[in-house]
Structure 1
Amino acid sequence: MAQDTPIAEPATPDLPYRIVGFDVGDRRIGVALSDPLGFTAQPLFTLHRTNRRADMKAVARVLRKHAVTEAVVGNPLYMSGDQSPQAAKAQAFAEEIRAEFGITIHLWDERLSTTQAHRHLDDAGHAAMGRKGIIDQVAAVLILQSWLDARAARHKREEAL
């Protein structure tokens, strides 16, 4: 079951804008980006982490270059739904982005996203060797696309009422 925990409200909800998705790890961060209308997610790049300052500088470039107003950060909970140590790190990263850049952040349950990413690459015939550079991007796409799909379904339900 997915969860959407917004940390703030969007600044301009009626205008087209881009949304960035992050799959946060200790060594790498997968980055995905929505199309301008917020329907699909595409891989952007993998950020190889060095230090907090460099990480935030890279995030700032993405936000500025793509006019990002919202971010979805994968929240890797345990299968039981309890918070994992990695979830605490992802939540801290999300809070840093919100505090530093003032954009809306959504925490999104990403249980099994990396497993799903491996399956997608298997299905596409991508060899297991050399996945390190793209697996985080694929996971970020799956996180962001899942959130976009859930948002579209929520809007559709609201319109039906």
Structure 2
Amino acid sequence: MRRMGLDYGDKTIGVAVSDELGWTAQGVETIRRTTQERDFGRLRELVEAYSVSEIVVGLPKNMNNTIGPRGEICIEFAKQVEEILQLPVHLWDERLTTASAQRTLLEADVSRKKRKQVIDKMAAALILQNFMDSKIAR
């Protein structure tokens, strides 16, 4: 069972997929958002190409565990994903995943330009990996 992780942003959607056993997550691509039709068309292509059976969308919560405006936008996006792609969608607390991805890339001495190109798919991979790890831990 393959899962897809999504990091939904204002300008991009970071995409990651799991291996077939559901143990590891790999960043696949960053979709530059344009129109809803094009964005969901690309997501559908990736779902089919990787035989994805469920999707995890990052939910940015505030540090006090409340959901702010950005979180509300992600919840609405998750509902659209579920409706349009007809797959189960899980929301996963993504607090600090982008910061963690940024720190990892800085420690690896990745250039600013390169970081900008990969940060969203790396954040999606962290969201998906954390979700999968929580399932194994149970």
TM, length-normalised to structure 1: 0.83
State the match for 1:134 in structure 2.
118
Q: What is the aligned partner in structure 2 of residue 116 from structure 1?
A: 100
Aligned twin of 2:82: 98
Correspondence for 2:71:
87
| SS at 1:46 equivalent | strand
Q: 1:36 aligned to 2:14?
A: no
Shift of 1:92: 1.1
Q: Which has the larger radius of gyration?
A: 1
Q: Aligned equivalents of 1:98 and 1:127: distance in 2?
A: 36
State the partner residue of 1:60.
Answer: 44
Task: Quote the residue 1:8 is aligned against.
Answer: none
Helix, strand or coil at the partner of 2:34: coil
Secondary structure of the corresponding residue to residue 22 of structure 2: coil
1:96-151 Cα distance to aligned partner (Å, 9 max, x none): 11111221111000011110010110122212233221100110011000001001
Q: Residue type matched to 2:14 in 1?
A: G
How far apart, in 1, do the equivalents of 2:11 and 2:49 lie? 24
Alpha-carbon displacement from aligned partner over 1:14-61 (angstroms, at most 9, x marks no partner): xxx210000000100100000001000001000000011111101110
Amino acid paired to 1:87: G
Give the aligned length.
138
Determine what percentage of the aligned residue pairs are the same residue. Answer: 40
SS at match of 1:125: coil
Structure with greater helix share of residues: 2
Provide the TM-score with structure 2 as the length reference. Answer: 0.96
Match of 1:143 in 2: 127
Q: Deviations over 1:53-82 (max 9, x none)?
A: 111101110111111010010000111111
Q: Choose which of 31, 55, 62 in structure 2 pairs with 1:47.
A: 31
**Residue ranges of structure 1 left out of the alignment (5+ in a row):** 1-16, 155-161
Q: Which stretches in structure 2 are left out of the alignment for 5+ residues? A: none
The CA RMSD over aligned residues, in Å, is: 0.9
Q: SS of the counterpart of 1:103? A: coil
